[in-house]
A and B are shown apart, each in its own frame.
Chain A
Amino acid sequence: MLLSKKKGFFTRIYIVEIIQGLAITLKNFFFSRKVTIQYPEERRAYSDRFRGLHYIKATNGVENCTACMLCPTVCPAECIHIEAGEQADKEKYPVRFEIDLLRCCFCGMCEEACPKDAIKLSAIYEMATHSREVLRKDMLLEQRGNK
Chain B
Amino acid sequence: MDNQFLFMLAKLLFVVVALISVVPIMLWVERRGAALMQNRLGPNRAGPFGLLQALADMIKFFWKEDGVPGHVRAVPYLCAPLVSLAPAFMTFAVIPFAGNIIFNNEVFEFQVAHLDVGFLYIFAIASLGVYGIVMAGWASQSAYAMMGALRSASQLMSYELPMGLSVIGVILAAGSFQLQDIVALQSQELFHIGSLSIPKLGIFIQPLGFLIFLTCAFAETNRLPFDLAEGESELIAGYHIEYGAMKFAMFMMAEYINMTTASGLIATLYFGGFQLLPGMHTVLDLIHLTGFEGDCLRAGFQMLSFGLKIAFFMWFFVWVRWTLPRFRYDQLMDLGWKVLMPLAMVNIALTVMLVVYKVI
User: Please, which residues of chain B bring their CB within 8 A of the CB of A21?
Assistant: 323-324
User: Please, which residues of chain B bring their CB within 8 A of the CB of A44?
Assistant: none
Once the chains are docked, how many angstroms separate the CA of A46 from the CA of B37?
A: 27
Instruction: State which of B38-46, B118-126, B238-246, B289-297 sits at the interface with chain A.
Output: B38-46
B324 and A29 form a contact (CB under 8 A): no
User: Please, which residues of chain B bring their CB within 8 A of the CB of A25?
Assistant: 37, 319, 322-323
User: Please, which residues of chain A bring their CB within 8 A of the CB of B319?
Assistant: 22, 25-26
Q: Does A33 contact B (CB under 8 A)?
A: yes
Nearest Cβ on chain B to A66's Cβ, whole angstroms: 49
Once the chains are docked, how many angstroms separate the CA of A25 from the CA of B211?
A: 20
B41 and A29 form a contact (CB under 8 A): no
Q: Does B143 contact A (CB under 8 A)?
A: no
* Closest residue of B by beta carbon distance from A26: B319
* Closest residue of A by beta carbon distance from B40: A36
Q: Give the dominant DSSP class at A's interface.
A: helix
* Closest residue of B by beta carbon distance from A21: B323
Once the chains are docked, how many angstroms separate the CA of A29 from the CA of B40?
A: 9
Once the chains are docked, how many angstroms separate the CA of A38 from the CA of B320?
A: 28
**Which chain B residues numbered 20 to 70 have a C-beta less than 8 Å away from chain A?**
33, 35-41
Looking at the complex, which one of B39, B320, B324 makes contact with A35 (CB distance below 8 Å)?
Answer: B39
Q: Does A32 contact B (CB under 8 A)?
A: yes
A29 and B37 form a contact (CB under 8 A): yes
* Closest residue of A by beta carbon distance from B42: A36
Q: How many residues of A contact B (CB 8 A)?
A: 15
Nearest Cβ on chain A to B330's Cβ, whole angstroms: 14
B36 and A34 form a contact (CB under 8 A): yes
Q: Does A143 contact B (CB under 8 A)?
A: no
User: Please, which residues of chain B bring their CB within 8 A of the CB of A33?
Assistant: 39
Nearest Cβ on chain B to A135's Cβ, whole angstroms: 32
User: Please, which residues of chain B bring their CB within 8 A of the CB of A45?
Assistant: none
Looking at the complex, which one of A15, A22, A32, A34 makes contact with B323 (CB distance below 8 Å)?
Answer: A22
User: Please, which residues of chain B bring their CB within 8 A of the CB of A73?
Assistant: none
A32 and B320 form a contact (CB under 8 A): no
A32 and B39 form a contact (CB under 8 A): yes
Once the chains are docked, how many angstroms separate the CA of A42 from the CA of B50?
A: 18
Contact with B along A98-116 (1 / 0, CB 8 A): 0000000000000000000
Nearest Cβ on chain A to B267's Cβ, whole angstroms: 19
User: Please, which residues of chain B bring their CB within 8 A of the CB of A38?
Assistant: 41
Looking at the complex, which one of B33, B41, B211 makes contact with A34 (CB distance below 8 Å)?
Answer: B41
A29 and B36 form a contact (CB under 8 A): yes
Once the chains are docked, how many angstroms separate the CA of A22 from the CA of B323?
A: 6
Nearest Cβ on chain A to B344's Cβ, whole angstroms: 15
A22 and B320 form a contact (CB under 8 A): yes
Looking at the complex, which one of B38, B41, B211, B324 makes contact with A28 (CB distance below 8 Å)?
Answer: B38
Once the chains are docked, how many angstroms separate the CA of A25 from the CA of B36?
A: 9
Q: A26-B319, A29-B33 are in contact. Are A18 and B40 (CB under 8 A)?
A: no
B41 and A36 form a contact (CB under 8 A): yes
User: Please, which residues of chain A bring their CB within 8 A of the CB of B35?
Assistant: 36
Nearest Cβ on chain B to A43's Cβ, whole angstroms: 16
A35 and B323 form a contact (CB under 8 A): no
Q: Does A24 contact B (CB under 8 A)?
A: yes
User: Please, which residues of chain A bring their CB within 8 A of the CB of B37?
Assistant: 25, 28-29
* Closest residue of B by beta carbon distance from A33: B39
User: Please, which residues of chain A bring their CB within 8 A of the CB of B322?
Assistant: 25
B40 and A34 form a contact (CB under 8 A): yes
Residue ranges of A at the interface with B (Cβ–Cβ < 8 Å): 15, 18, 21-22, 24-26, 28-29, 32-36, 38
Of the A-B pairs whose beta carbons lie under 8 Å apart in the complex, a sample of 26, sorted by A's number, is: A18-B323, A18-B324, A21-B323, A22-B319, A22-B320, A22-B323, A24-B323, A25-B37, A25-B322, A25-B323, A26-B319, A28-B36, A28-B37, A28-B38, A28-B39, A29-B33, A29-B36, A29-B37, A32-B39, A33-B39, A34-B36, A34-B40, A34-B41, A35-B39, A36-B40, A36-B41
List 20 additional contacts besides A22-B323, A25-B322; criterion CB under 8 Å: A15-B211, A18-B323, A18-B324, A22-B319, A22-B320, A24-B323, A25-B37, A25-B319, A25-B323, A26-B319, A28-B36, A29-B33, A32-B39, A34-B36, A34-B40, A34-B41, A35-B39, A36-B35, A36-B41, A38-B41
